[in-house]
């Protein structure tokens, strides 16, 4: 929570943690569902054998100086779906320095995680570093979406750096970083990287069946491509003029892949 | 060995097959995103700070003696586009063939045995630099420079851009090349203590997306 050391505002530190386990009756139990500060968690109506959790932002953030962490641990036979009630808005804060948002996800063999939160919006003047690490056991299943929107409507973006590192059975499966906004290395908005697009997103699907039946690469319109990774997974990479059109492409891809 | 080996390795006429690739510039020209020297510079700058930095770091780490199999897996994870992975391996194989004839080395022989279809080009490049007696920084420079010289040369052909203008673009990028080569060398030196994730993973979404489309064009001037 917000603390003040020697008169200096240091920002919020908070961790939310979800543990999902096979309940032994064909469903998924949540032995740990612990929010903190601005990270509140709600269990919502589930369908079938899945447990569904909604991440509810109890205040807007992250603000400069904040350090937020969300962790999920999915055991074998468990199926966890995580969404969020609203977009996450990175804003400048009173505290000095950038904000940090860490996502730490673990899925055991035979477990499945569907991580489908709303967009992350980088507001003018904000500075945020997002680090997402996903560790999958061989035989784990994952659907993971992330969307970044650079600025609210008509607004200049803040500085946003986001690294997604996915490991499967301890080996790297996907490692991608994007760095956008004022102060990012040159050319980030140029013809090789974003070319003026203000929304970018990735949809990652990991599934053991892809080992035997690999997916082929294909375009999804002009601004998105589906490609098989060097492992049992496909990745959709998309850019779009705005959040709405980005979501449309990723939704179509999700429907096609699932 | 002499520093001049760097000139031999970085020379566009070194027979490693790079001239057949535009580094995504052909797709960007077709989409109207590169129309002249200014947009070429912006394209090259973006490529330099993303795939250029990643390639330079992999090459520097390989030149320092990091395990090439681990580096190759790291390159796979940093190259989501299957079309670009295929290109990277083809270029790696071609570089391997030229380098084994130029700077024979046991390390190159064993990498060629490990990856008969080719390892990722930057990994091969790093080992070639070692075989040529060059250092990690040299390997990083070579990879970083290739990341921009390929598109610049290609755009001369694609747009009939004045070659003087293309060279001026590369010259203007020189200070940033220094920066990228330094960052790559620093990251590579952290691998022994911090592991492979110390290497940058910066990506260029449009290069990844358009590479998949470009690979399906029935008629094209460049292989990628």
Average of per-residue pLDDT across B104-128: 97
Domain assignment present for B12? no
Of B49, B74, B213, the CB nearest to A187: B49
What is the spatial distance between Cα A195 and Cα A186, in angstroms, rounded to a whole number?
Answer: 12
Average of per-residue pLDDT across B31-37: 97
Q: Number of H helices and number of E strands within chain A? A: 1, 20
pLDDT the model gives residue A9: 62
CB atoms A187 and B207 under 8 Å: no
pLDDT the model gives residue A59: 59
Distance of CA B21 to the CA centre of its chain: 11
Q: Which residues of A touch B175 (CB under 8 A)?
A: none
CB-CB neighbours of B15 under 10 Å: 14
Distance from CA of B173 to the nearest CA of A (A): 10
Q: Which residues of B touch A191 (CB under 8 A)?
A: 28, 33-34, 39, 42-43, 46, 206
- Sequence-distant (≥ 6) Cβ neighbours of residue B10 within 8 angstroms: B141, B142, B145, B146
97-136 of B, contacting A, C-beta below 8 A: none
How far is the CA of A39 from the CAs of A67, A68, A173, in angstroms?
11, 8, 29
Burial (CB count <10 Å: 0-12, 13-18, 19+), residue B171: exposed
Domain assignment present for B218? no
Q: Does residue B223 sit at the A interface (CB-CB below 8 Å)?
A: no
SS3 content of chain B, % helix, strand, coil (to 5): 75, 0, 25
Tokens of A16: 């939310």
Q: Is the pLDDT of residue B123 over 70?
A: yes
End-to-end CA distance of chain A: 39
Residue A227: give the domain boundaries.
14-257
Domain assignment present for A156? yes
The model's pLDDT over A19-64, given as tens digits with 9 standing for 90+, comes to 999 999 999 999 999 999 889 999 997 778 899 999 997 556 788 8
- Domain count for chain A: 1
Domain assignment present for A2? no
Distance from CA of B2 to the nearest CA of A (A): 33
Q: Is the pLDDT of residue B209 over 90?
A: yes
pLDDT the model gives residue A257: 81
Average of per-residue pLDDT across B175-184: 98
CB atoms A172 and B45 under 8 Å: no
Give the lowest-confidence range in A64-68, A207-211, B107-111.
A64-68
Domain assignment present for A9? no
- CATH code (residue B191): 1.10.4190.10
191-220 of B, contacting A, C-beta below 8 A: 196-197, 200-209, 211-213, 215-216
pLDDT the model gives residue A6: 47
Burial (CB count <10 Å: 0-12, 13-18, 19+), residue B3: exposed
Q: Which residues of A touch B81 (CB under 8 A)?
A: 217, 225, 227, 237
pLDDT the model gives residue A94: 77
pLDDT the model gives residue A7: 45
Average of per-residue pLDDT across B112-125: 97
b (16+ CB within 10 A) / e for B128-157: bbbbbebbbbbbbbbbbbbbbbbbbbbbbb
- B157: part of which helix (H) or strand (E)? helix B136-159
Average of per-residue pLDDT across B52-77: 98
Domain assignment present for B9? no
The model's pLDDT over A193-223, given as tens digits with 9 standing for 90+, comes to 999 999 999 999 999 999 999 899 999 999 9
Q: Is the pLDDT of residue B170 over 70?
A: yes
Residue B81: give the domain boundaries.
22-211
Cross-strand pairs, A225: A219, A237
Domain assignment present for B44? yes
Domain assignment present for B2? no
Q: Which residues of B touch A147 (CB under 8 A)?
A: none
Q: Is the pLDDT of residue A145 over 50?
A: yes
The model's pLDDT over A102-129, given as tens digits with 9 standing for 90+, comes to 999 999 999 999 999 999 999 999 999 9
The contact set of A with B (CB < 8 A) is 163, 165-166, 171-179, 185-188, 190-195, 197, 200, 217-219, 222-230, 235, 237-239
What is the spatial distance between Cα A153 and Cα B190, in angstroms, rounded to a whole number?
Answer: 40
Domain assignment present for A223? yes
- The model's confidence at residue B17, banded by pLDDT at 50, 70 and 90, is confident
Domain assignment present for A161? yes
CA dihedral A169, B111, B72, A224 (to 10 degrees): -120
CB atoms B33 and A191 under 8 Å: yes
Domain assignment present for B11? no
CB atoms A187 and B208 under 8 Å: no
Domain assignment present for A7? no
Domain assignment present for A1? no
- The model's confidence at residue B90, banded by pLDDT at 50, 70 and 90, is very high
- Sequence-distant (≥ 6) Cβ neighbours of residue B116 within 8 angstroms: none
ipTM score assigned to the predicted complex: 0.96
Q: Does residue B224 sit at the A interface (CB-CB below 8 Å)?
A: no
Q: Is the pLDDT of residue A95 over 80?
A: no
What is the spatial distance between Cα A193 and Cα A176, in angstroms, rounded to a whole number?
Answer: 13
What is the spatial distance between Cα A108 and Cα A137, in angstroms, rounded to a whole number?
Answer: 5
Of A165, A176, A188, the CB nearest to B46: A188
Domain assignment present for A8? no
Strands A224-228 and A233-240: antiparallel
Distance from CA of A9 to the nearest CA of B (A): 31
- Rg (alpha carbons) of chain B, rounded to whole number: 16
Interface test with A, best of B32, B66, B77, B214 (most A CBs within 10 A): B77
Do B150 and B21 touch, CB atoms closer than 8 A? Answer: yes
Distance from CA of A161 to the nearest CA of B (A): 10
CB atoms B80 and A186 under 8 Å: no
State the residue for tokens 């500085």: A159
Give the lowest-confidence range in A111-115, A143-147, A252-256.
A252-256
Do B210 and A193 touch, CB atoms closer than 8 A? Answer: no
Question: Phi, psi (5° rounding) for residue A73?
Answer: -130, 115
């Amino acid at each position: 929570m917000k603390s003040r050391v020697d008169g200096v505002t240091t920002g919020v530190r908070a961790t939310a943690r979800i543990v999902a386990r096979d309940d032994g009756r064909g469903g998924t139990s949540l032995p740990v569902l612990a929010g903190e500060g601005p990270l509140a968690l709600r269990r919502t109506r589930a369908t079938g054998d899945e447990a569904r959790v909604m991440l509810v932002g109890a205040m807007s953030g992250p603000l400069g100086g904040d350090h937020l962490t969300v962790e999920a641990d999915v055991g074998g036979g468990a199926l966890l779906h995580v969404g969020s009630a609203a977009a996450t808005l990175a804003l400048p804060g009173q505290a000095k320095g950038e904000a940090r948002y860490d996502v730490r996800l673990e899925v055991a063999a035979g477990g499945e995680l569907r991580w489908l939160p709303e967009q992350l919006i980088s507001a003018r003047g904000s500075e945020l570093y997002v680090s997402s690490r996903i560790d999958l056991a061989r035989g784990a299943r994952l659907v993971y979406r992330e969307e970044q929107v650079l600025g609210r409507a008509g607004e200049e973006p803040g500085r946003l750096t986001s690294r997604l590192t996915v490991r499967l059975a301890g080996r790297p499966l996907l490692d991608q970083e994007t760095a956008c906004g004022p102060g990012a290395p040159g050319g980030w908005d140029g013809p090789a990287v974003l070319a003026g697009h203000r929304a970018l997103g990735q949809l990652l699907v990991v599934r053991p069946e892809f080992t035997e039946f690999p997916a082929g690469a294909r375009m999804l319109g002009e601004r998105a491509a589906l490609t098989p990774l060097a492992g049992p997974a496909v990745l959709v990479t998309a850019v779009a003029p705005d959040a709405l059109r980005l979501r449309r492409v990723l939704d179509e891809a999700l429907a096609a892949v699932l | 060995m002499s520093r001049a080996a760097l000139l031999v390795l970085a020379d566009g006429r070194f027979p490693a097959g790079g001239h057949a690739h535009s580094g995504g510039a052909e797709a960007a020209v077709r989409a109207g995103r590169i129309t002249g020297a200014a947009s070429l510079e912006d394209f090259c700058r973006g490529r330099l700070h993303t795939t250029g930095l990643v390639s330079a770091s992999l090459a520097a780490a390989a030149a320092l003696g990091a395990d090439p199999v681990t580096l190759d897996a790291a390159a796979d994870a940093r190259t989501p586009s299957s079309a670009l992975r295929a290109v990277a391996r083809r270029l790696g194989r071609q570089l391997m063939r030229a380098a084994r004839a130029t700077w024979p080395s046991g390390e190159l022989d064993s990498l060629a045995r490990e990856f008969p279809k080719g390892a990722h080009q930057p990994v091969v490049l790093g080992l070639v630099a070692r075989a040529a007696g060059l250092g990690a920084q040299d390997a990083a420079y070579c990879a970083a420079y290739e990341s921009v010289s390929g598109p610049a040369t290609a755009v001369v052909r694609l747009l009939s851009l004045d070659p003087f203008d293309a060279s001026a673009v590369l010259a203007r990028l020189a200070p940033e090349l220094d920066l990228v080569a330094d960052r790559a060398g620093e990251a590579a030196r952290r691998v022994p203590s911090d592991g492979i994730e110390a290497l940058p993973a910066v990506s260029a979404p449009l290069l990844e997306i358009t590479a998949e489309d470009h690979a399906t064009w029935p008629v094209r001037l460049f292989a990628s």
